[in-house]
Structures are given as C-alpha cells and as structure tokens.
Amino acid sequence: MRHHVTLSRALLVAGLWGCTTQSTPPVTLPSGASRLPVDNWLDVTATLAAGRTPVYDGDAPMVFTFLKDMRKGDALTLSTYALGAHSGTHIDAPMHFVKDGASIDKVDVAAFIGSARVIEIADSVQQINAAELNRHDWKGAERILFSTRSTARGWMDSSTFHRDFAYITEDAAQLLATAGVKLVGVDYISAEQFAAPAPRAHQILLGKGIPIVEGLDLHRTSAGDYDLIVLPLKVAGHEGAPARAIMRPVNTGISVTF
Ligand SMILES: [Zn+2]
C-alpha cells in the first residue's frame, strides 16, 4: 500500500512539473533490458543508533552529534557520527585479516549484487562447522547467508553485546572457499567465534578474496533463494565499511514479512 501512495505522489509531482516545464522524452531502454522492479525488497540492514546497535567488545563506541539542529532553532540541521568500520551491517574486505589484502574500496561490487541463499541454523547451534553446513542445501549457491540464533533473538537490534553468537568454523569456511562462493554473510557483528585462538574463518575466506558481510538483520526472511544487494561505503584504504543491504525472494514459496 505504501508503494501505491508513493507512486501516486510521484505522479502528482511529475504532473505538476509537466505543467510548468518542458516535458522530457520517455527513456528508452535497449531491447532486452528490464527495469529493476521496486517491489518486494526487504531491508535487511541493522539500524545504526547509539544505545540500540551492538558494538563488539573493545571496538569504538558509536557517537552521534548534532552540530546544528532545526528542531532547536538553527537554520539547518547538520550532524556528525563517529563509529567503527565494523558497525552494524558491514562488510569485511580482505585487508581485515590479510596483510596485503584489498581494501573495501577495491573490492569488485560484483560480489555484492546477485543471488544469495539464506540457510537457517537452529537456535541450539552455535558452531557452524562443515557437518552442520552439509546438513543444509548450500551447494551451488553463489552467496550464502546464515540466519542463526542471533536473528531469532533479535541481537542486531539490542545494544547488549552477546558473546555466544553462532560462528563459522575453519572447516566450514574451507568448504565455502573451495566451492568458490562469492560472498558469505552472518547475522551478528562477527563471523568468528568470540575470543577464537586464531581468526581462521576470516583468514580462509578473506584469503580467497571472499568478502564477509556481517551484522545482517534477517528477522523478516526465511530459508531460500533471494536477490541481494549489499553496498559498502567506498572508504579508501580501509579494511571494512558499513553497508545497506536489501533482499527480495526469487520464488513465491519463501515466507517473508513485508
Ligand atoms: Zn567485520
């Protein structure tokens, strides 16, 4: 319904413009091209907000400041925010754990746009190891996103940092890397076991040039295939950046909440 309201307002505005300005010719798409439909996209991004978004133990706090504020009588509203590169929904570039790895601005956006499969991991499972992975239909998927206990418990929408989030083990990371997946995603702020003796999942995936999207909010999705667009900020020379992520189911058998 909201789409219809927006559309009619857009048409109204376009109509008003049409009265007073020269009308623009319609855009002609090359044959075979299709417009990107605006329907059915789910926002799977965690909201960035102090006191709401979890921050990994020891990472920088998020600080949001209004320098000017129209609500307080200023002529405009102007703000700044300071936050860690791994805040909320974000992408780890190879540089995060590979010494000469690519920084986030150098990662090809092809990894961030395309088909993705959501794999649901039971609430009781904390270790996503090779055996757990192979209990699911993951082979052949280009991008794999794990929906875990973190989603079930709403942890990306709670400022409390939980250490017992589900994580990817070394053998599962190896399977995914060998299979040539283009992107791996998780629904909490790290894909690695908390206080792991070595960051093996990161080293294996990033070592193969496979970016990791962390901190997805998958509470409106269920297992199945989706189109995914997740685009990190293009920050030069840094190892990660916050991103906006949207998904839409590619078949009607998937139950989602709009
Ligand atoms: Zn990260």
User: What separation in Å is there between the alpha carbon of 91 and the centre of ligand 1?
Assistant: 6
User: pLDDT of 65-107, one tens digit each?
Assistant: 999 999 999 999 999 999 999 999 999 999 999 999 999 999 9
Rounded to 5 degrees, φ, ψ at 137 are -90, 90
What residues in the chain have per-residue pLDDT under 70?
1-37, 252-258
Nearest to residue 233, comparing CAs of 245, 244, 241? 241
Topology of the domain comprising 84-249: Glucose Oxidase; domain 1 (3.50.30)
Q: Which residues contact 72 (CB under 8 A, 6 or more apart)?
A: none
pTM score of the predicted model: 0.85
Separation of 200 CA from ligand 1 center, angstroms? Answer: 14
96-139: pLDDT as tens digits: 999 999 999 999 999 999 999 999 999 999 999 999 999 999 99
CA of 215 to the centre of ligand 1 (A): 8
CA of 85 to the centre of ligand 1 (A): 7
15 CA to middle of ligand 1, Å? 46
Which amino acids are annotated catalytic? 96
Is residue 240 within 8 Å of residue 103, measured between CB atoms? Answer: no
pLDDT at 49: 96
Calculate how far, in angstroms, residue 16's C-alpha sits from the geometric centre of ligand 1.
46
Rounded to whole angstroms, the Cα distance separating 186 from 176 reads: 13
Mean pLDDT across the chain: 89
Domain residue spans of the chain: 84-249
Residue 54's region, left for phi above 0, alpha for psi from -120 to 50, else beta, is beta
Residue 133 CA to ligand 1 center (angstroms) comes to 21
Give the burial class of 240: count Cβ atoms within 10 A of its Cβ; 0-12 exposed, 13-18 middle, 19 or more buried. Answer: buried
Quick one: which of 252, 253, 245, 243 has its CA closest to 218?
245
